[in-house]
Amino acid sequence: MSLLSIFATAILPIVAIATAGFVLGRRRDVAAGPLNTVTIYVLVPALVFHSLATTALSGETLASVAIGVFLFTGVMAFLSEGTGRALGETEPILGSFVLVSIFSNAGNYGIPVSEFAFGAVGRSTAVVYIVAQSVAMYTLGVYLAARGEGDDWYSGMRAIFEIPLVYVVIAALAARWLGVVPAVDTATMETLKLVGDSSIPVMLLILGIELAETDYSAAALRVTPAVTLKMLVAPLIAVGIVAVVGFQNTTVARVFVLECSMPAAVTTLILTGEFAGSTPDGIEATEYAGTAIFVSTVLSVPLLTGLIALLQSVVVL
């Protein structure tokens, strides 16, 4: 598997769309805020409902991946929170530090890479991963983005229950359990798929727009600890989680590690833009998140190439 093949099939489309947003942000005065709101309240819920309602993976696999995601999120949150505080970071940068350290770009990046590396099982596992991560992201993630300089638990928890994703996951699981999920070729499901699929390019456009306004000189060195946690520590934690959970399907286990090792999620920038407060001085939380996403994405090209080679060998997992 060559670096060129990975770049051409999985990374180049992502770079192209984000570049379009970057150019747009440079040439026009485009506000990312309204796009953030539409994505959080409309596009992502449609994507998650359709993916969860139509997946063909077994219940046991769904449970194993979900448990693995929640364990991974908890361990990484503990490590990144402690590291950020030890480095002297304060809100809202601390919340952004933790967000970019623990949440992976498991969707618009992870799904195509996983499918290219591990076929149909890779794609299915990646979809389940992003659903489970979405639950954590729109609960714990919203709290981290919204808790503010005073660590306001009430504000963060209140914001959690204003996000529709939690209710969408419950509705999708209930529909599967009751056997009332509409057929995939019905107007309802096709509409949900259309709306959900649109979230991927919109999130990438938002990334490009935000990056066009990012002060890299101020944030580049400061994001190094968070990027190190995301790209170097996270894969090791994921291997440990696999050993604890005990995935029966080796391919699913390998895809799980690959998904945990993806660069920082674009959604962390969306959450930061929607909920984080302003910084009295220094860089803004959105600049921090955008720079961390950019740096981790660039570094992911060689790092993921080596990781995929290891995961496909008979030695690892």
Per-residue pLDDT of 168-190, as tens digits, reads 988 998 998 899 999 999 999 99
The percentage of the chain sitting over the pLDDT mark of 90, rounded to a whole number, equals 45
315 located within any domain: no
Amino acid identity of residue 199, one-letter, is S
Distance of CA 166 to the CA centre of its chain: 16
Amino acid 171: pLDDT:
93
Say if 133 falls within a structural domain.
Answer: yes
Assign 167 to helix, strand or coil: helix
pLDDT of residue 213 exceeding 90, the answer is no
Residue 293 to residue 109: CA distance in whole angstroms: 12
Under 8 Å between Cβ of 168 and 45: yes
Distance from CA of residue 178 to its chain's centroid? Answer: 29
State residue 205's pLDDT score: 92
Number of domains in the chain: 1
- Residue 50 burial (CB < 10 Å; 0-12/13-18/19+)? buried
CATH number of 175's domain: 1.20.1530.20
Within a domain: 317: no
Residue 101's domain comprises 3-307
CB 208 within 8 A of CB 16: no
170 located within any domain: yes
Q: Could you tell me if 269 and 286 are in contact, meaning their C-beta atoms sit under 8 angstroms apart? A: yes
Q: Does the pLDDT at position 32 exceed 50?
A: yes
Task: Say which range, 23-32, 43-52, 272-281, has the weakest mean pLDDT.
Answer: 272-281
In a domain? residue 93: yes
- The mean-pLDDT minimum among 62-66, 143-147, 155-159, 170-174 falls in 155-159
The pLDDT, as a whole number, for residue 74 is 97
User: Where does residue 241 fall: left (phi above 0), alpha (psi -120 to 50 degrees), or beta otherwise?
Assistant: alpha
Q: How far is CA 64 from CA 48, 58, 263, in A?
A: 18, 10, 22
Q: Looking at the domain assignment, is residue 143 inside a domain?
A: yes
Of residues 56 and 306, which shows the higher confidence score? 306
Angle at 198 between CA 194 and CA 202, to 5 degrees: 170
How far is residue 23's CA from residue 212's CA, in Å, rounded to a whole number? 7
Residue 314 maps to a domain: no
> Which of 134, 172, 131, 140 has its CA nearest to residue 159?
140
pLDDT tens track for 294-312: 899 889 989 998 899 889 8
Averaging pLDDT over each range in 164-168, 191-195, 208-212, 268-272, which range is the top one? 191-195
The number of beta carbons lying within 10 Å of the beta carbon of residue 281 is: 4
pLDDT tens column, 270-288: 888 888 767 666 788 888 9
Contact call for residues 241 and 72 (beta carbons, < 8 A):
yes
In single-letter form, the type of residue at position 234 comes to A
The pTM of the full predicted model, rounded to 2 decimals, is 0.84
Structure letter (DSSP) for residue 7 = I
Between CA 173 and CA 66 the distance in angstroms is 13
Q: How far is CA 16 from CA 83, 259, 271, in A?
A: 34, 21, 23
Whether 247 is covered by a domain: the verdict is: yes
